[in-house]
């Protein structure tokens, strides 16, 4: 397991505006700046970015996520291109190039295809000025559109590449205690916190805290440390990686 390799995941609610689902460029600028600073300091990162469907929603003149799969796939096809164009432009300001990798669940389940992906990612990761950006291939992955999300994709990628840390960026500072509404800073037993899950999720978000905790459970049982942190405060990433910062840290269950 690589102690200097972090998978960072940003959800649709972080990358798009709540009001209309359009890309929040200011939020992207802050997030890109934070990731670039980590890379400049020698941290190796893989970025899992949602937002393709959300950015395509506005491009197609819709006001919310479409209910039919075909329209979602069309939104993803339009939105992914828009999203990568923005990332390419923003990271170029830091002399960082981006590499796009689109995956489905089937790509990392079988050993042969997973091996091909691992080889590609390993080659990209050793380059200090290249950031792999991963997303589900929503324009073709019908099952993933219905049942999957990028939280689980993030932890499965982390396991594949041997990352020791996953940071799931969401719209809150971490897992909140339902009685005090304060952040739970550290969790030793993932099963004990499922009672704290709330059903609310953003208008343009495909997942919620429940799906995050399922992903967290998968990760910690594989020995991977997970943080849930506020994606609207990306400057905290450096502190989180340093073992400080505001987040909920889930301890890995394997050494």
Q: Which residues are annotated as a binding site for ATP?
A: 9
The DSSP letter of residue 45 is E
- Binding residues for substrate, by number, are 50, 138, 150
The DSSP code sequence of 182-215 is -B--EES-GGGGGGG------TT-S--HHHHHHH
CB count in 10 Å sphere of residue 168: 31
How open is the CA angle 198-18-83, to the nearest 5 degrees?
110
Q: Which residues are annotated as a binding site?
A: 9, 50, 138, 150
Residue ranges of E strands in the chain: 2-10, 44-49, 97-103, 130-136, 163-170, 186-187, 225-230, 248-250
Question: Where is 152: in which H helix or E strand?
Answer: helix 150-161
| Two tokens, residue 137 | 């291939």
Strand partners, 98: 131
State the Cα–Cα distance between residues 253 and 223, nearest whole angstrom.
Answer: 5
**In terms of C-beta density within 10 A (0-12 exposed, 13-18 middle, 19 or more buried), how is residue 1 classed?**
middle
Can you say how many angstroms the Cα of residue 83 is from the centroid of all Cα atoms in its chain? 14
- Are 130 and 138 spatial neighbours (Cβ–Cβ below 8 Å)? no
């Amino acid at each position: 397991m690589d102690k200097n390799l972090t998978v960072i995941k940003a959800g649709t609610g972080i990358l798009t505006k709540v009001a209309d689902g359009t890309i929040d460029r200011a939020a992207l600028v802050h997030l890109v700046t934070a990731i670039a600073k980590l890379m400049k300091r020698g941290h190796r990162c893989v970025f899992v970015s949602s937002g393709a469907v959300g950015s395509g929603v506005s491009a197609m003149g819709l006001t919310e996520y479409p209910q039919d799969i075909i329209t979602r796939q069309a939104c993803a096809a339009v939105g992914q291109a828009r999203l990568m164009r923005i990332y390419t432009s923003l990271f170029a300001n830091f002399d960082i190039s981006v590499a796009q990798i689109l995956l489905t669940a089937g790509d990392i389940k079988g050993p042969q295809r997973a091996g091909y992906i691992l080889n590609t990612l390993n080659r990209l990761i050793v380059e200090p000025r290249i950031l792999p950006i991963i997303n589900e291939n929503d324009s073709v992955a019908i099952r993933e559109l219905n049942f999957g999300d990028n939280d689980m994709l993030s932890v499965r990628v982390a396991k594949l590449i041997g990352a020791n840390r996953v940071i799931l960026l969401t719209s809150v500072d971490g897992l909140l205690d339902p009685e005090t509404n304060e952040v739970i800073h550290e969790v030793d037993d993932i099963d004990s916190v499922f009672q704290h899950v709330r059903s609310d999720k953003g208008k343009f978000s495909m997942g919620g805290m429940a799906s995050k905790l399922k992903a967290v459970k998968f990760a910690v049982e594989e020995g991977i440390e997970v943080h849930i942190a506020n994606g609207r405060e990306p400057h905290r990433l450096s502190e989180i990686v340093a073992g400080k910062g505001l987040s909920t840290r889930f301890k890995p269950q394997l050494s």
